[in-house]
Structure 1
Amino acid sequence: MPKKTDKTDKTEEKRYQGNLLPAHTTSLQRYMTEISNDPILSREEEYELAMKYKKDGDLDAARKLVSSNLKFVVKVANEYKNYGLNTMDIIQEGNIGLMHAVKGFDPTKGYRVISYAVWWIRAYIQNYIIKSWSLVKVGTTQDQRKLFYKLRSTKNQMELGDGNLSSEDYKELADKLNVSNEAVIEMDKRMGGKDLSLDAEIKGDTDLSHMDFLADDNVVNQEDLITKVEEEKRIKSGMIDALKTLKDRERFIIENRILADKPLTLEELGTRYNISRERVRQIENAALKKLKTVLKEKGISKDS
């Protein structure tokens, strides 16, 4: 068998994407018509197709798994209809999330495709929205990002729904999320889309509701994962910028005392710079104060 090259992998990835997703269209009505005849698969049908793709790389089987769940992507995308972005663009991002979920789906785990895919669908949609907002300087602060990813789930936990909230509700939300009342009110208005009714029956030859497809507690919450990854990237970027404000000796001491996997001792650093251990400690403490000041200006606290 010939050895795969990077070029081969890229070609296969492009072929995979091209075969799974429907042709892009700017008309929501036309798109809904196109996917309206895609059948909802039974658990047995889904398992059989997933095994064909997992074992044999059968792209036709993967396409059927994707197409059978496109209606659900539209339902999820509808949650974000009031976010000020084109609905078809949101749907297409959700479709890409579904496609990646199908690619990584393991049918032997015992759950349905949509149970695994729902977090990927939302993750791709949310990532698209937050990037789009960032272009117009919305959703770029730490509080805004936290609210974007956490407000809806926190409201659900408090059983608040999407109706008008009282001042007490906003205060409780702000306390739980550790942000200001004003930030909660602003984001709640921006995130005014209606939630999908989980008890609503799915159209097609099935008696299942959307609730039947939701992931159980053992499935990774992709919203939490995305929040963590985005925050870690922000902190890392902030630290890199902050280190640039230090003098060479200060930066070397911090990098090798605080950030290194195997930190150097005060004595080793003292020998390198021909200074006492106490002097190294003083330089380290002064550099840490500088870093904290810079990071605070960037909205990064010690609790981040």
Structure 2
Amino acid sequence: MTMALPVVADSLSLYFAEIKKFPVLSPEEEHELAVRFYRDKDIEAAHRLITANLRFVVKIAAEYRAYGMKMLDLIQEGNVGLMMAVRKFNPHRGIRLISYAVWWIRAYIQNYIISSWSLLKIGTTQAQKKLFFKLSQAKNAIMELMGHDDTRATAEALDVKETEIIEMDQRMRGEFSLDAVIGDDDGSTLLDGLADERLNQEEVLADLQENRLLQRQIGHAVAGLNDKERFIIEKRVTADDPLTLQEIADHFAISRERVRQIEEGALKKIKKVLLPLMAEPAGA
């Protein structure tokens, strides 16, 4: 899919000005364009779908600014995720594009964050991974409970050293804040200038129904695994705090490589079950 999109320039304000020029699509317009691209591979239709949703990418990218990545880089990765979502979107499933695209956008942003931090040798142990993803949440909880920031309490809650909290906190501070005031009179921020693209009640319901359907399909797929495969998927893929290959290898008294092979085979089985189900039109 080759097309001309707004360049993520050196200034966020300039980029915001560019993406505001693209009108938001009505549900009817979006469906018509999505059908054109799905059926005819109409590149112009895909371009309009993507540019109309660039605002939403910025909204999602803003949720990850505490991880210390450059906001412009997060937006760029999110835009790639949006393009992938448009390419794979099925307009006949009865949901809005953004309800589907949000998963692709988040996946690309999260993958970029993890990859970038891996290059810095951060997040290589279980404790560091927990700290990376839970630090902001823990600090906010301590702040509400005690009324002030407490590094020692945060470290105890996350079971890490105070020095690790301080180091990670420094690394996670971004260089640009969307909450920065840009108006002298009304106190408005850059984030205030972006349109609210949150889903309405009808769209939320459609998204919820789609998620419930997907959960049932995943449950059906996992049920077809043997006990060892199911254990590995539950402990490695779906768990909030996944076990390492070595921990599972010790549990079954097998090698790490064997665990990896079983996990790979189980994922292939799940994919084989899910793909035909996900290809069915909504309501079929």
TM-score, normalization by structure 1: 0.53
Correspondence 1:181-220 to 2 at 5 A: 209-212=197-200, 215-216=207-208, 218-219=210-211
Distance (whole Å) between structure 1 residues aligned to residue 135 and residue 71 of structure 2:
21
Contact kept, 8 Å, 1:82 with 1:192, in 2: the verdict is: yes
User: Is it true that 1:90 corresponds to 2:77 in the alignment?
Assistant: no
Which residue of structure 1 aligns with residue 277 of structure 2?
A: none
Deviation at 1:154, TM superposition (A): 9.2
Contact kept, 8 Å, 1:80 with 1:191, in 2: the verdict is: no
User: Is it true that 1:112 corresponds to 2:100 in the alignment?
Assistant: no
Which residue of structure 1 aligns with residue 127 of structure 2?
A: 143
Q: Gaps (5+ residues) in structure 2?
A: 180-190, 216-233, 263-284
- Structure 1, residues 25-84: CA drift from partner, whole Å, max 9, x if none? 333222222111111111111111111111111111111111111011111112222332
- Change over 3 Å in CA distance of 1:88–1:202 after alignment to 2: closer
Picking from 235, 240, 243, the partner of 2:245 is 235
Distance (whole Å) between structure 2 residues aligned to residue 21 and residue 165 of structure 1:
42
SS at match of 1:88: helix
Distance (whole Å) between structure 1 residues aligned to residue 90 and residue 138 of structure 2:
30
Which residue of structure 1 aligns with residue 19 of structure 2?
A: 35
Distance (whole Å) between structure 1 residues aligned to residue 92 and residue 138 of structure 2:
32
Distance (whole Å) between structure 2 residues aligned to residue 59 and residue 153 of structure 1:
42
Contact kept, 8 Å, 2:3 with 2:47, in 1: the verdict is: yes
- Change over 3 Å in CA distance of 1:82–1:201 after alignment to 2: closer
User: Is it true that 1:48 corresponds to 2:32 in the alignment?
Assistant: yes
Correspondence 1:1-304 to 2 at 5 A: 16=1, 18-19=2-3, 21-146=5-130, 148=132, 170=154, 174=158, 180=160, 209-212=197-200, 215-216=207-208, 218-219=210-211, 228=237, 235=245
SS at match of 1:210: coil
- Change over 3 Å in CA distance of 1:135–1:233 after alignment to 2: farther
| Paired letter, 2:74 | I
Structure 1 vs Structure 2 CA RMSD: 4.6
Contact kept, 8 Å, 1:202 with 1:210, in 2: the verdict is: no
Distance (whole Å) between structure 1 residues aligned to residue 124 and residue 15 of structure 2:
32
Deviation at 1:138, TM superposition (A): 1.6
| Paired letter, 2:208 | D
| Paired letter, 1:78 | A
Contact kept, 8 Å, 2:80 with 2:105, in 1: the verdict is: yes
- Structure 1, residues 90-109: CA drift from partner, whole Å, max 9, x if none? 11001011111111111222
| Paired letter, 1:47 | H
| Paired letter, 1:29 | S
Contact kept, 8 Å, 1:43 with 1:112, in 2: the verdict is: yes
Contact kept, 8 Å, 1:35 with 1:70, in 2: the verdict is: yes
Deviation at 1:228, TM superposition (A): 2.9
| Paired letter, 1:131 | S
Deviation at 1:23, TM superposition (A): 3.2
Distance (whole Å) between structure 2 residues aligned to residue 24 and residue 82 of structure 1:
20
* Greater radius of gyration (CA): 1
Which residue of structure 2 aligns with residue 280 of structure 1?
A: none
Q: Gaps (5+ residues) in structure 1?
A: 1-15, 243-252, 262-304
- Percent identity between the two aligned chains: 43
TM-score, normalization by structure 2: 0.56
Greater Cα shift, 19-28 or 32-41: 19-28
Distance (whole Å) between structure 2 residues aligned to residue 109 and residue 20 of structure 1:
28
